[in-house]
Structure 1
Amino acid sequence: VDYVATGTVRSPSGRLIVGVELIEVRSARIVWAETFERRPDDIFSVLDDIGNSIVSSISAEIETVERNRAMLKAPNSLNAWEAYHRGLWHMYRFTQAENEQARHFFAQALHLDPTFARAYAGLSFTHWQNAFQRWGDRDRESALAFESAGHSLLVDDHNPAAHWAMGRALWLRGEQDGSLLELERAVDLSPNFALGHYALSFVHSQSGDPRAAIGSSDHSRHLSPFDPLLFGMLGARAMAHVRLGQFAEAAEWALKAAARPNAHAIILAIAAHCLALAGRLEEARGFAAAIRKTRPDYCADDFIGTFRFEPDAVALFRQGAKLIGLN
């Protein structure tokens, strides 16, 4: 046993207060503590809500501790678990070089343990990023993302990360219905799986139900408010608001996404287009200029080609691009 969670429950004057601590056994150190307070209007839904929040928070905190611990060890001394978390550390930097490092460590974890479903899911994520960011041949990287996700499912069909990886891989292949089925399976298996809810928001924000996208974005952030993919959760909500014609709201959410320290060029492009549609042209041009420092020829075709928008959304984003010279 590496970690132990303890807690208390109090119910003073019509409130339910749950205090939780996560303790690292080897050092007796409290690595995380949180208090959850709700009004017990519907006690069962409140308990579900608090329970999901606790599980998601504990999972995120353990992952953070393990990632940081793996970074302190020599790369050739890592076991499969440590190599996997070293891969996560690099993966969440969202640069091409760090993504390649992540791929290397996920492959190392799988060499040490070929039954490690989450390492296959991580490997799929690196190929997905190569395709999405155009860091490699999109068709080849999409095929590798799909293949790795398939291995993850073969190893453990009950692992939500495996279905999450497959859902994302199917989105890359243009198979939206299959993508949504896999992502819904991921959150059915683990209702507190924040990345599953975020991926649902991502898909719906482009060509599904934009209101469902907003709900899934909010829920993912509720479960994991400091998630390394927080910029994506915010960006998906921004795109959903564009599809609803709510440009002012889209701009505000896009700015929040772009303010995240690991936000990449595609997130900056979301901000540029949303701000343009909201009439905030100077701010939009600033983001466009920032993108073109590293991608001088970036234009609306690149942005639209990255996603799978409905035709009405394509028209809106082209309108925004034209206003700031990205057409």
Structure 2
Amino acid sequence: MDQTIADRRLVTILVADVVGYSRLIGADETGTLRRLKALRRDVIGPSIAASKGRIIKTVGDGFIAEFGSAVRAVNCAISIQQGLARHEAGIAEDRALRLRIGINLGDVVVEPDGDLYGDGVNVAARLEPLSEAGGICLSRSVYDQVRDKLRYPFQDRGKLELKNIARPVGVFSLPASAIADLTDTDEQVPEPVKTSNRKPWKATAVGAGFLTLLAAGGLGWWSWTASKAPAPNQTIAAKLAGETREAPRLSIVVLPFSNLSNDPEQDYFADSITEDLTTDLSHLAGSFVIARNTAFTYKNKPVDVKQIGRELGVRYVLEGSVRRTGEKVVLNSQLISAETGAHIWSDRFDGDRSRLGDLQVEFVARLARSLDVQLTEAESLRSFRERPVNLDASDLAMRGWASLNKQRSVANNNEAVQYFSQALKLDPNLPRAVLGLSRALMNKVINRWSEDIQADIEGSDGLITKYIEKFPSDAAALVVKGDVFRSNKHFDAALAMYDAAIVANRNFAAAYALKGHVSLLSGKAYAAIPSEIEAIRISPRDPLVNVWYYFVCHAHTHMAQWEEAIAWCNKCVAISPFWQAYIDLAAAYAWTGRAYEAKAAVSELLKLMPGYTVKKWATAGWSNHSRFLEEYQLIVEGLRKAGLQEE
């Protein structure tokens, strides 16, 4: 019997796909096909040839290519992306061709006709949808080959589970903004085609690829279709929101400490200590600390530390208890490995409530020593946790923060204002009360609960300015100051405050989210998305995570990237209905010709905002930036197309 042994070889595979191809064809079939043909002739073909690669297959809007060198494959991808930016210069953003590229080094089966298949190809195809529009995603196998040869600013995304791939894959990316900024001296291998007059990056997206892998008899074959948006649970946001990835070495979540006092009313005291420790641990060098809002979703629930580790991507879980008897406080805690479930460290702290700040600083210092890391800014921590002049005022401030951390509502915010105001009557300079009242006043403004907006802005600003003079590196305070600037439409100043907050506490999810939002308000929609993604990574179960998904959606909407906007806004409303997401969905569906879906989105909007009209959205006054307003008009027109009542 004739037996043929399959030919195999180790190659680097590059998979590329045009973003939003079906939308582009629907809008201008002739022009899109003409420009795509020119792109293949003038950019893609010469770049692959110069890098000594070979196109395996090209169908419709994408192609697969193989290379004998990982370095050549990466340089070719950069050459193509830079050449594409030059090729499409002057084309309106909603009509410009953009590529996503995935690259993998792996073993493949070679067919007699030269076609390739196997996991080496499959992984590259799964990496492609994870790339930004105009960017590149590569596997660790490729990264290990190029890391010491190419001086490109790759970003480590950790290990990700890829569909139909048996094991997690280490993923690295090179965003479009980095590619646009590369110069000839940034690389060491001369093969790529040189380009000039690069167009600044203006589009970033996380969308779907054009490859669908079908299983047949245990072997894979390729079916090629037009590009379409991914299901929301296949986007990188879904990956960040709970699927397995390699955890940073010093990654930790502080679970809500149990209240062992006889009085259930003392829960606020235990919660306050948990929140303080979460903030303090961010001062450990190299730490990645899950945000308080995500950690508190586990309160009063059975805990499986291994499952938490998988859900949040952390190596350690810190849990403990607080017992308060009169003026005596006892803290018990244990650090547990999320990988093995083993207890790594435990300790007990006790003392007078007036020494609570000292106990917390000592707690973090001992924990740092157990993990063999350095505690930075120790003196700053001590100043934040200084002994209160009046213990009753301190207690009221804790209650105020407990009210602020409840579900966001007018009643809870007003309750917080009352507690903070009472605390400041007893101790006018109590830091926690000053910061808390300033935060609560800005909440009234931002959520449009205020009866006197200007008075509340000025009141908050006066408090927070005084606070920052004493504590200039308190991230929470810097965010409040940023909110003051944002409310006054001083977006550049707001952005500077949010950046300063991130420098002070790199694990402050809200600072990243607000930085992204302000980037959008200041006419830089393309810059918003990376910040929102980072916020989601830090606090994937945050009560506001649906709003952060909406911010990503809204950035895509402003860039007229309708398919990506639809995917992210659907992710938003799948978590919790949000009226602004239905605004963007209605406009995006209308612009892509899906009248039925647009009408359904309008219906959902009106359930949440009865009587809402095009005029109300057109005159909402979110920003006065000219670029923002120009992009915003597309949404207004989209709402008209969707059938929303004018007035």
Same-fold status (TM-score > 0.5): yes
Partner of 2:644: 325
CA distance in 2, matches of 1:277, 1:116: 53
Do the aligned partners of 2:532 and 2:548 also contact (CA within 8 Å) in 1?
yes
Which residues of 2 match residues 255-270 of structure 1 at below 5 A?
255-261=570-576, 265-266=579-580, 269-270=583-584
Which residues of 2 match residues 171-190 of structure 1 at below 5 A?
171-190=486-505
Report deviation, 1:223: 0.7
Which residue identity does 2:405 align to in structure 1?
Answer: W
Which residue identity does 1:315 align to in structure 2?
Answer: Q
- Equivalent of residue 168 in structure 1, options 480, 483, 500: 483
Partner of 1:204: 519
- Equivalent of residue 444 in structure 2, options 109, 130, 135: 130
The unaligned stretches of length 5 or more in structure 2 are 1-169, 171-245, 261-270, 275-284, 301-320, 322-391
Which residues of 2 match residues 214-293 of structure 1 at below 5 A?
214-261=529-576, 265-266=579-580, 269-277=583-591, 279=594, 280-293=597-610
Partner of 1:87: 403
Task: Spell out, residue by residue over 1:10-61, the C-alpha distance to the aligned partner (whole angstroms, 9 max, x if none).
Answer: xxxx97786857574876xxx99xxxxxxxxxxxxxx94xx22xx2346853
Q: Matched residue of 2:405: which SS?
A: helix
Deviates more, 1:266-275 or 1:283-292: 266-275
CA distance in 2, matches of 1:230, 1:143: 29
Q: Matched residue of 2:541: which SS?
A: coil
Instruction: Return closer, same or farther for 1:196/1:20 CA change in 2, 3 Å cut-off.
Output: closer
Figure out how many residues of one structure are paired with residues of the other and give that number.
Answer: 280
- Equivalent of residue 312 in structure 1, options 598, 606, 630: 630
* 1:102 equivalenced with 2:416 (yes/no): yes
Instruction: Return closer, same or farther for 1:171/1:273 CA change in 2, 3 Å cut-off.
Output: farther
Report deviation, 1:115: 4.3
CA distance in 1, matches of 2:296, 2:495: 28
CA distance in 1, matches of 2:516, 2:455: 25
Report deviation, 1:267: 5.3
Do the aligned partners of 2:582 and 2:602 also contact (CA within 8 Å) in 1?
no
Partner of 1:61: 295
Task: Spell out, residue by residue over 1:109-143, the C-alpha distance to the aligned partner (whole angstroms, 9 max, x if none).
Answer: 54455445454444334333333333233333333
Instruction: Return closer, same or farther for 1:102/1:268 CA change in 2, 3 Å cut-off.
Output: farther
CA distance in 2, matches of 1:113, 1:269: 46
* Backbone CA RMSD of aligned residues: 3.7
Instruction: Return closer, same or farther for 1:321/1:81 CA change in 2, 3 Å cut-off.
Output: same
Report deviation, 1:147: 3.0
Deviates more, 1:203-212 or 1:189-198: 203-212
Deviates more, 1:201-210 or 1:240-249: 201-210
Do the aligned partners of 1:272 and 1:287 also contact (CA within 8 Å) in 2?
no
Which residue identity does 1:124 align to in structure 2?
Answer: S
Task: Spell out, residue by residue over 1:153-184, the C-alpha distance to the aligned partner (whole angstroms, 9 max, x if none).
Answer: 23421200111000111011011111111111
CA distance in 2, matches of 1:325, 1:140: 35
Report deviation, 1:107: 3.1
CA distance in 2, matches of 1:81, 1:63: 23
Do the aligned partners of 2:554 and 2:584 also contact (CA within 8 Å) in 1?
yes
CA distance in 1, matches of 2:519, 2:495: 9
CA distance in 1, matches of 2:620, 2:472: 32
Report deviation, 1:202: 1.1
Q: Matched residue of 1:158: which SS?
A: coil
Report deviation, 1:199: 0.8
Report deviation, 1:271: 4.9
Instruction: Return closer, same or farther for 1:292/1:79 CA change in 2, 3 Å cut-off.
Output: same
Which residue identity does 2:606 align to in structure 1?
Answer: A
Deviates more, 1:311-320 or 1:270-279: 270-279
The unaligned stretches of length 5 or more in structure 1 are 1-13, 33-46, 70-75
Instruction: Return closer, same or farther for 1:22/1:314 CA change in 2, 3 Å cut-off.
Output: closer
CA distance in 2, matches of 1:164, 1:288: 30
CA distance in 1, matches of 2:580, 2:427: 34
- Equivalent of residue 152 in structure 1, options 467, 487, 508: 467
TM-score relative to the length of structure 2:
0.38
Report deviation, 1:189: 0.8
Say which structure is richer in strand. 2
Which structure has the greater CA radius of gyration? 2
Deviates more, 1:143-152 or 1:114-123: 114-123
